[in-house]
Amino acid sequence: MPNAFNFAASPFDCLQPQERRLVRDSVDIAYFRAGELILDVGARPTHLFVVIKGRVTQHDGEELVATYGPDDTFDGRGLVAGRVSHRFVAAEEVVAYQLAQATVSSLIASNATFGALLFSDLGHKLSAIAQRQDGREMQSLTLSRVDEAYLRPPQFVDATTDILSVVRIFQQHRSSNVLVRDRASEPPRLGIFTATALQRAILDGRPLDRLPVGELSNFQLITVRPGDQLGDAMALMLRRRVHRVVVMEGEEIRGVLEALDLFSFLSNHSHLISVRIEDATDLQGLSQAASQITKLIALLERGGTKVALIAQLVQGLNARLFERAWQLVAGPDLVAHSCLFVMGSEGRGEQLLKTDQDNALVLREGYLPPADLQATCDRFSQVLADFGYPPCPGRVMENNPAWRGDVAAFSRQAREWLLMPTPDSLMKLAIFMDAHAVGGDAKLLDAVRDSLFQLSADNDLVLARFAAAIDSFAPAAGWLGRLFSLGGEGEGRLDLKKEGLFPLVHGVRALAFAHGVRETGTAARIARLAAAGQLPAALGHELTDSLHFFMGLRLKAGLAELDRGQPVSGAIELASLGSLDRDLLKDTLEVVRRFRGLLRQRFRLDLVS
């Protein structure tokens, strides 16, 4: 066979050398004219095809459901099942490799990952991919730079400082060490005194307020550079049996890396940001913590952390950040008599990179807010903007009086959104349905939500109007073809929110609304609906897998844009997708297509005007 067979393309990238030799020895080349039928429904397939040149379209009846281009494989599922379930047509002149069924069966028997990627459902494909990435996260983290971990600010004392004064420094700065300057030596030297050395100081017998710290300090510093790998720093600590190293760049001391902070970074590095948020006593301290969140996200994505876990960590960090900022800006009285909540993807726990603010404020009935409430809310929105969360273009923020009110006023507004539906009111209702409390008294938000769910019960027309928003963005014509025809300007970008995320998220939101499901996260809503029998379990798993795949694609694209100094657009550059991601994208968008059909039947959307 030609040596050009691309073993870097999925699913052949998981083959071992002997399995690759089997492919080379067994493969042939097939040619199909434009318009020629390659496989028909009900046919018994004999080969697996890998496209070399041209495009092949897959049809379910009259509907186009997938397109295959160079390096794409079809029809693995039909080959294993022994029967073709769709029609495959050469959309243009096609040249393809063909691999006999016996060879494919042999590869499946020897390589479970190959089989899963070739013909399994979406869940099994993603599981196979996850198994291939085992161990990648910890390996990547140990390859991180020392200055990506938390470095404790150095505290300096003179060698003549007494031990009692040093202990006061430990207490004041919550530290366990100080760096000691001995200017009397020639040349001057730098050492370290740690809390462990206090035992020797006490046993010395001299009064602590008369014992110079320099006499008990270690002047043989163990140092690393900011650009060194964390794995090397960890090995150095273990080898030298120390609990900290001093981080130096030339003669400049950048900080102290503690073993506790290093291992916290490797095991749960979000914890360090959380601690900095909780310990912040002013907005400047909070800003420093906020600046670390995007770096953390990039680190986790690079390390192979599952996107669902990244989203969970980010939601927790953002909630703590917003709550602490609100406490510093609003003061205790307003915080106690209000509930600050976030909405949209932030409320669902599906926000990753920083995007528009979506927040609101509900007040306790009968509470007289401070006269400067508007100024307070304006300041809070500006603080979030300074933290990197830009204002919402639609002004869905608490500094907009339309998104601020007491429980009664907010409940009345939410009911109006539902009972007097317009495109604008339904959008606002959908945003509010994802509300998640982050500060103040969460019971105030619960009261508003309760009144809304009571109104929606058994109101099929209202629910149908709400669900009909799944068609707000009609699928873009020809996106399947654009997966492989990327030459035209603007043709290589796909708005994944419109094509996949919105109909999935809003469809699940509508079902949750109809069945009184109070969870705000899409995955949690799916789990509750499936457990209650309101959603087929298999489809529920596919929807969850699709959701996380979409989120992962958007995260990769957004981080790439940030690396290029561009704003996060939410669009996917199709040319950047590998064959595996293109394959999974087709699978996930097919899941969304089937889900749309279920929703149209469930809510009888053909009758909604």
Q: What angle do CA 132, 110, 83 make, to 5 degrees?
A: 100
The stretch 502-524 carries a mean pLDDT of 92
**Helix, strand, coil in percent for the chain, rounding step 5:** 55, 15, 30
pLDDT of the residue at 132? 54
Locate the domains of the chain by residue range.
12-119, 146-268, 280-456, 468-480+490-607
280-456 belongs to which homologous superfamily?
Answer: Beta Polymerase, domain 2 (3.30.460.10)
Question: With pLDDT > 70 as the criterion, what percentage of the chain qualifies?
Answer: 89
Residue whose C-alpha is closest to residue 340's, from 386, 398, 387: 398
The model's confidence at residue 11, banded by pLDDT at 50, 70 and 90, is: confident
Question: With pLDDT > 90 as the criterion, what percentage of the chain qualifies?
Answer: 44
Residue whose C-alpha is closest to residue 557's, from 579, 543, 575: 575
pLDDT of the residue at 599? 93
Is the model's pLDDT at 522 over the cut of 70?
A: yes
Same fold, 146-268 and 280-456: no
pLDDT in tens, 33-66: 999 999 999 999 999 999 999 999 988 888 787 7
**527, 508 Cβ separation under 8 angstroms:** no
Is-cis flag, bond preceding 75, omega within 30?
yes
**DSSP assignment of 122-147, as one string?**
HHHHHHHHHHHTTTHHHHHHHTSBGG
What's the rounded Cα separation, in Å, for the pair 338 and 320?
A: 16
> CB neighbours of 472 closer than 8 A, spacing ≥ 6?
423, 502, 506
pLDDT in tens, 223-272: 999 999 887 887 788 678 788 999 999 889 999 998 877 766 765 556 66
pLDDT in tens, 264-280: 676 555 666 777 788 78
**293, 317 Cβ separation under 8 angstroms:** yes
Sign of the dihedral defined by the CA atoms of residues 457, 461, 462, 467, in that order? positive
pLDDT of the residue at 598? 93
Phi, psi of 242 (to 5 degrees): -125, 165
What's the rounded Cα separation, in Å, for the pair 485 and 489?
A: 11
Is the model's pLDDT at 475 over the cut of 60?
A: no
pLDDT in tens, 179-220: 999 999 889 999 999 988 888 888 888 999 999 999 999 999
pLDDT of the residue at 123? 59
pLDDT of the residue at 509? 94
The stretch 354-368 carries a mean pLDDT of 91
146-268 belongs to which homologous superfamily?
Answer: CBS-domain (3.10.580.10)
The model's confidence at residue 79, banded by pLDDT at 50, 70 and 90, is: confident
The model's confidence at residue 490, banded by pLDDT at 50, 70 and 90, is: very low
Is the model's pLDDT at 1 over the cut of 70?
A: no
The model's confidence at residue 354, banded by pLDDT at 50, 70 and 90, is: confident
Is the model's pLDDT at 337 over the cut of 90?
A: yes
Q: What is the pTM of this model?
A: 0.68
12-119: which CATH architecture?
Sandwich (2.60)
Mean pLDDT of the chain: 85
Phi, psi of 45 (to 5 degrees): -75, 150
pLDDT in tens, 376-428: 999 999 999 999 898 988 899 999 999 999 999 999 998 888 888 788 888 89
> CB neighbours of 215 closer than 8 A, spacing ≥ 6?
none
